[in-house]
Amino acid sequence: MADMELEQKTAEVGKKEPEVKLDKNGKPKKTLKRELLEWVAALAAAVLITFVIRTFIFEPVRVDGDSMYPTLHHGEIMYVSKTSYGTSNIFGKYVTLGGNPERFDVVVCRYPDRGSTNFVKRVVGLPGDTIEIKGGYLYVNGELIPEKFLHERMNYDYGPYTVPEGNYFLMGDNRNNSNDSRSSRVGPVPRDMIVGHVEAVIWHDIPSTLEDANMKD
């Protein structure tokens, strides 16, 4: 029995510990499997963070066209915030976030029957407002509203039109070159189709801001 115990101990002493490879800093090298798992975990975390930011905080949107000229120019990248209000597609269902748009906010929206295409317009009429344009000037509930941000005035009259509850009347600043709520094919835009509030331009080729264009009424 003593001889067997001696042989077992001798065999154990003779065994070598598994060789651990070290990197240049003296730390154990990661196996290929572990590196792949870490890359997958990092990628999944990045996708999740991006989803949360775009869904609940903000998303960048590119201006396509001149319907908001001179406030916004074709090709600019806008910062569209969802912290004050917005709408997000969460697992196939549109969910409204925060409060509601205010008059003259610039927003990104979608139109009925136009799928997921984004449009950028200005909120002119709130639910229950009566909108009318006479001689190129905007009247809301019978009151003349100054609009210093316009490039030129609308060249035909419109209304009066009362905005249904839960909807908003949107127009482009380039009034004579904008497909918006004045069109029977668009009409008033429901609250859950307003994607978010345009708060800033984060990239542009030429100087442009969301401030007034300093044009006289």
- Which residue numbers are catalytic? 67, 121
- Burial (0-12, 13-18, 19+ Cβ within 10 Å), 173: buried
The token pair that represents 84 in the structure block: 């004050």
Among residues 194, 165, 168, 169, the alpha carbon closest in space to that of 88 is found at 194
C-alpha to C-alpha distance for 65 and 1, rounded to whole angstroms: 93
C-alpha to C-alpha distance for 33 and 31, rounded to whole angstroms: 5
